């Protein structure tokens, strides 16, 4: 059991690296080529305002990536980062689910929805693991260790 807690900080950070990269990828696609990116889903942008609005969507994804990276590199913000990612993925999943119910569910929507549900589950497990780790450290589990060792583990 001790091995799980030893590797938990690394697992949590690895989990944050995935959405940081995904958010950056989506952000750069929508910001850099909004017309081409939306055309892949048969969406046409008929005005400069529509194109700019898609660039704004890209910038929101880029901001999410930056927030996730800041959480990833900070010892004290990993838990907050996982909460943030879970919130974003949860909101996107709910929007896609609502759209599938109201607008219909073509194959591309179902594929994206499945992926998002899997990611939601993975990040929920990661959040639970990191929350348990924080609680364990806060209650003084492993008191046989020196306070310096405990402080170092908490910061990882």
Of 136 and 45, the structure prediction assigns the larger pLDDT to: 45
CA 149/CA 76 separation, integer angstroms: 16
CA 110/CA 104 separation, integer angstroms: 10
Task: Count up the domains in the chain and report the number.
Answer: 1
Cβ contacts of residue 5 below 8 Å, gap of 6+? Answer: 133, 136, 153
Q: Express each pLDDT in 135-146 by its tens digit.
A: 887 886 554 444
Domain limits for position 7: 2-155
Termini Cα distance of the chain: 18
Q: Express each pLDDT in 96-130 by its tens digit.
A: 999 999 999 999 899 999 999 999 999 999 999 88
φ/ψ (deg, to 5) at 103: -100, -15
CA 132/CA 82 separation, integer angstroms: 13
CA 53/CA 9 separation, integer angstroms: 38
pLDDT at 1: 55
Q: Express each pLDDT in 48-95 by its tens digit.
A: 999 999 999 999 999 999 999 999 998 889 999 999 999 999 999 999
């Amino acid at each position: 059991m001790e091995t799980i807690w030893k590797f938990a900080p690394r697992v949590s950070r690895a989990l944050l690296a995935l959405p940081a990269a995904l958010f950056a990828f989506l952000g750069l696609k929508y910001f850099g080529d909004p017309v081409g990116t939306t055309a892949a889903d048969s969406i046409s942008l008929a005005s400069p305002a529509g194109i700019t609005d898609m660039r704004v969507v890209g910038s929101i994804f880029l901001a999410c990536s930056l927030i996730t990276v800041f959480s990833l590199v900070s010892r004290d913000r990993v838990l907050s980062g996982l909460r943030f990612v879970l919130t974003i993925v949860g909101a996107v999943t709910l929007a896609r689910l609502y759209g599938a119910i109201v607008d219909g569910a073509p194959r591309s929507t179902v594929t994206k929805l499945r992926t998002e549900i899997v990611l939601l589950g993975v990040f929920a497990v990661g959040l639970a693991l990191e929350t348990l780790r924080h609680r364990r450290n806060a209650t003084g589990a492993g008191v046989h260790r020196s306070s310096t060792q405990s402080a170092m583990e908490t910061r990882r």
